[in-house]
């Protein structure tokens, strides 16, 4: 007797009505819908505050207005190429009045995680795939590291009998966005993870694309993490968005109630997911990588509370 036919996953079942997802509402009354219930804003940076090296028009005035209302704000970015100090210089250079302690980069998150697990006490080193941001943050907590920018021009000997000699004292590999990613770094990382006992594999973020310049989207750190996943078979420890590490740090350090925090970002799978999974209200801005069509599509199940064209809509009359 033949087995009954099964519907493909997600397929409509005869006699069953599929319920359409409700449309995400546009923010039209910022005072009543957002500002009255929000004491703290957490802003993503790329695609929300700036695109590449250009500030989004109107943003400096919006931030000044929100501060004038007594709103607290933090700036959380998955970009690990700069440290907190490096990002402060970028904010200042763009005419944005921001304090260093308001900035949370994924390079800082990687260092905070290593500090949390008391990695320094192991006496081990970190192998860095990434740039100066991770290096500077590890220096600040006294964790020794190798790799990073020092390996940007290295190439492995792949002739007969060629090999890469890796450091057996590496206890963690941190993978962040790296404009000088190369095969030497891949081979070194996989040797550390595959051959050094209990070596940690840490990813600053899994972003598919990034705003390296304002002209176009560029392959993000997800491509670099994917290369290391592919040759180790290991899943990384994620410290950037949507991991809860940074929001937990903000809530515990600054004694902020989650119910009064709004996460504002341009990505559904990192920013909005970060907010929703951590009990925050969420606003998606269309000034970055996400289009309104993608936001409202039936395929998208990550739904923010509201969407705006840019954060200028927060203070419109």
Q: State the catalytic residue, choosing from 44, 151, 178, 271.
A: 44
For the chain, helix (H) and strand (E) counts, in that order, are 10, 15
- Paired with 248 in beta bridges are none
248 classed as catalytic? no
Q: State the catalytic residue, choosing from 46, 151, 266, 271.
A: 46
Which single residue is written with the structure tokens 């990505």? 267
- Name which of 177, 188, 111, 114 is nearest 151 in CA terms: 188
Q: At residue 182, what are phi and psi to the nearest 5 degrees?
A: -150, 175
Strands 125-129 and 54-55: unpaired
Give all strands (DSSP E) within the chain, no chain letters. 40-43, 50-51, 54-55, 72-77, 103-105, 125-129, 145-147, 170-175, 200-203, 209-210, 218-219, 237-238, 261-265, 281-285, 306-308
Strands 125-129 and 145-147: parallel
Give Cβ neighbours of residue 207 (< 8 Å, ≥ 6 apart). Answer: 78, 220, 221, 222, 267, 270
44 classed as catalytic? yes
The CA distance from 152 to 71, in Å, is 42
Catalytic (active-site) positions? 44, 46
């Amino acid at each position: 007797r033949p087995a009954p036919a099964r519907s493909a996953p997600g397929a409509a079942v005869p006699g069953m009505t599929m319920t359409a997802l409700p449309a995400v509402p546009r923010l039209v009354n910022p005072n009543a819908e957002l500002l009255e219930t929000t004491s703290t804003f957490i802003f993503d940076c790329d695609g929300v505050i700036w695109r590449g090296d250009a500030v989004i028009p109107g943003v400096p005035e919006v931030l000044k207005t929100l501060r004038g209302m007594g709103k607290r704000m933090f700036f959380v970015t998955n970009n690990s190429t700069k440290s907190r100090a490096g990002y402060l210089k970028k904010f200042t250079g763009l005419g944005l009045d921001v304090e260093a302690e308001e900035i949370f980069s994924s390079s800082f998150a990687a260092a905070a995680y290593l500090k949390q697990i008391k990695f320094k006490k192991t006496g081990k080193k970190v192998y860095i795939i990434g740039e100066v941001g991770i290096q500077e943050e590890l220096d600040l907590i006294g964790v020794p590291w190798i790799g990073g920018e020092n390996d940007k021009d290295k190439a492995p000997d792949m002739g007969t009998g060629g090999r890469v000699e890796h450091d057996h004292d590496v206890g963690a590999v941190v993978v962040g966005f790296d404009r000088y990613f190369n095969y030497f770094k891949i081979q070194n990382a996989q040797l550390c993870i595959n051959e050094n006992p209990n070596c940690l594999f840490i990813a600053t973020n899994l972003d598919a694309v990034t705003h390296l310049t304002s002209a176009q989207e560029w392959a993000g750190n997800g491509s670099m993490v994917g290369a290391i996943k592919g040759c180790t078979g290991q899943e990384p420890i994620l410290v950037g968005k949507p991991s809860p590490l940074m929001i937990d740090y903000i809530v515990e350090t600054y004694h902020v109630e989650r119910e009064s925090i709004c996460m504002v970002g341009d990505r559904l799978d990192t920013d909005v997911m970060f907010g929703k999974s951590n009990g925050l209200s969420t606003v998606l801005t269309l000034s970055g990588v996400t289009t309104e069509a993608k936001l409202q599509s039936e395929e998208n199940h990550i739904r923010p509370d509201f969407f705006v064209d840019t954060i200028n809509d927060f203070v419109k009359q």
